[in-house]
A and B are shown apart, each in its own frame.
Chain A
């Protein structure tokens, strides 16, 4: 007992259990609480400002005509700027093209990594490469597609085209789709796989009818997020899909330059004319609402899978 008393004396502790707000430890704690709160406030402040500005400035000018008309070339008409109809369709077309390329390849690649590879050097390299590819700046994807597709007029002599834009965006989507497929499939329990293989099902049947469906939600979430990211991208499009003041129609629609919301915002933001600047805000409003919807959809998908698991 004496030993304990001697030892206790070596601890500088307060003599009671009361909370002393001016004790050094508590002062430090409350100042860190304050700093963390302040940092969080600073972090969300720009978001609130930005969203409210986009909604007020862009949403207030929204009407059916703007959503359905073609944009006017800058300087033609100093009062009107037309609409963003072709850019909305263009974003839809280019993003769909990108998804059509990246989703099958990504899911296929993810299936290979999760189901076939046995952790050899090839799959290690592909996993590493996926990480590297997701870190490649989007402008470089644009430069590459320009070099391979646009400048060489690879597709039937067309240079700038919706297809080139779609390819550029698909390079950005690919790593996300592969990664989420790979990880989604790895979450499927091996028991399920063995059960299917154990009754003599082929690997193809097992994967397409058992494992892939059970990993549906994580994969779908990944695809939705990849589409959301691609739909907002500008850099890969400015010298692949370029821009257009017209509707894309006819047989060579996919092989001609095409408008998109993001490139419209970029081009019109830098115009000296107020009418064009205003149109950029409307386009931002539409784009942001679209992307937020996709993100909420992804969140809902995740929420669903979590509910099902418990």
Chain B
């Protein structure tokens, strides 16, 4: 074949300008879509910050420690909601972590036959698919009425403890904590399970091979190897618990009055936003935005800390 003939058969040998244009256009389209993440984050930050400006300049840091929240006198302080956010999320985490990690161990180690493990694993994953508004509905009509006698008994027996000092009246912090536990369990279990599954089986064999028992292997070898993932998952769950809105709003009682007691109605920042934002006006909107800003900073820090933790604790093996 003559060289010139060969050339004619391939009409697109020289890249057409339209092809180059598509290639470049495609690249920049993808780039701008990636940039949307940054734009979305930036917008969220600016809107919330700008909205809270009035309240920030009026109350300053006092906002964090003032516990009165009164639309009538137009005086706002977020301490009740901050207290509620921190207490509900931390306490629910304290309950959910051992349960979730325990479940994850139960379904990754060979304690029970594999089909049982798979069934439990699937059930837990399905729990993660239940929307929080349904959890809230269930909490109102089933869980809280069922628990009330128990909470009453707690109050009667331990009323000298400030955290149990009020009589339960229905909605309150304690049922909110418990529904958060239900919500966090699948997250913690799923992430812990993944981290445990990623521990190479050669480490497990190494421990068994020198006569370690199952739980010695789990505590001394497997958990340390999986700890970065588990810790990351726990922090992620903490972020979720702080920002969780619906289930908590529906069962916490939305009280603006501060009470140490877990049996009393309380509030969280997210619940307060869900409840009041729609009907608020004037400086209440700004104070709600300020509270939203605080929530954002809290969850942001927890999430960044989670990412740092995963990198920091990762073991080489």
* Complex contact A44–B123 (CB within 8 A): yes
Give min CB distance, B235 to chain A, whole Å: 10
Contacts of A116 on B, CB cut-off 8 Å? 27, 30-31
Interface mask (A204-224 → B, CB under 8 Å = 1, otherwise 0): 100100000000000000000
Contacts of B131 on A, CB cut-off 8 Å? 231-234, 262, 287-288, 291
* Complex contact A284–B137 (CB within 8 A): yes
Q: How far is the CA of A175 from the CA of B236 in the complex (A)?
A: 15
Q: How far is the CA of A269 from the CA of B140 in the complex (A)?
A: 8
Contacts of A235 on B, CB cut-off 8 Å? 245-246, 270, 274
Contacts of B296 on A, CB cut-off 8 Å? 136-137, 140
- B65 CB within 8 Å of chain A: no
Contacts of B289 on A, CB cut-off 8 Å? 143, 147
Contacts of B142 on A, CB cut-off 8 Å? 49-50, 53
Contacts of B100 on A, CB cut-off 8 Å? 43
Interface of chain B: mostly helix, strand, loop or mixed:
helix
Q: Which of A50, A147, A233 contacts B51 (CB 8 A)?
A: A147
**Chain B: CB-nearest residue to A175:** B37
Q: Which of B26, B34, B239, B277 contacts A126 (CB 8 A)?
A: B34
Q: Which of A51, A133, A139, A277 contacts B245 (CB 8 A)?
A: A139
- A32 CB within 8 Å of chain B: yes
**Chain A: CB-nearest residue to B219:** A32
* Complex contact A138–B245 (CB within 8 A): yes
- Would you list the 5 A-B pairs with minimal beta carbon distance, nearest first? A137-B243, A232-B131, A108-B33, A39-B102, A135-B303
Q: A25-B213, A144-B43, A266-B250 are in contact. List 4 more A-B contacts (CB 8 A).
A: A35-B102, A108-B32, A116-B30, A235-B270
A–B pairs, 21, beta carbons within 8 Å: A32-B218, A38-B102, A50-B135, A108-B29, A108-B32, A109-B35, A113-B34, A122-B34, A126-B37, A128-B307, A132-B41, A135-B240, A139-B243, A143-B288, A147-B50, A234-B133, A266-B246, A269-B250, A288-B131, A292-B129, A295-B126
